[in-house]
Amino acid sequence: MLNFLFLTKRIIHAKIIKTEVKRNHYLKSVMKEVVYKMISEQKPELNIIGVYAIPEEQEVKLIEIVINCPPSKIDAGMFTQPEYDIPKSSWQVAYDEHFLNVDGTEIIGRYGDNEILDGIPFTRIAFFLYFVDFDKPLLSQFGEHQLPVESPIPDRLKNIIVFELPD
């Protein structure tokens, strides 16, 4: 009889734990949706993390940015700098764009990989830009942005992003 009571008690305890695990998983899922919804309803803000020198390539910089909107909403062709003495269609634009994970240590996709990046509520992107002028703003679909001073490329990016000349 004691074995039966002990076994029954263990089964009930296991069911309670299983129910709690399901409930916690559900709560995490709901919270994740709420956070994603809050982020998606905010006006997109762009933060330039850094403008990095590329060794042996004086004319090219690597620019790293975080934006609180999904990668599918980013138009990389809008990252440019004004050059008023030539037509806008000839301005330099972002080149070889890489979407990065939240801490910027891994490439999670390339520009155009929207299916892969579905459901991500923010964007961390790094791209190359030729002939950067620190006296001019970086233009994007989100407005004008003052560039920070140039710094050396961090090891976390040096190890995952390699500059290659365009074809």
Could you report the per-residue pLDDT of 59-96, keeping only the tens digit for each?
999 999 999 988 888 899 999 999 989 999 999 999 99
Domain identity same for 97 and 136: yes
Q: Which domain holds residue 14?
A: 1-41
Domain identity same for 93 and 125: yes
For the question of whether the overall pTM of this predicted structure is more than 0.85, the answer is no
Task: Work out how many domains the chain is built from and give that number.
Answer: 2
How is residue 156 written in tokens?
């976390």
Distance between CA atoms of residues 49 and 46, nearest Å: 9
Query: Is 29 inside a domain boundary?
Result: yes
Give me the long-range contacts of 82-88 (CB less than 8 A, separation at least 24): 82/136, 82/137, 82/139
For residue 3, pLDDT beyond 60: no
Q: What is the pLDDT of residues 101-140, one digit of tens each?
A: 999 999 998 887 766 677 788 899 999 999 999 999 999 9
Query: Is 167 inside a domain boundary?
Result: no
Query: Is 79 inside a domain boundary?
Result: yes
Please tell me what DSSP assigns to residue 163. -
Domain identity same for 143 and 80: yes
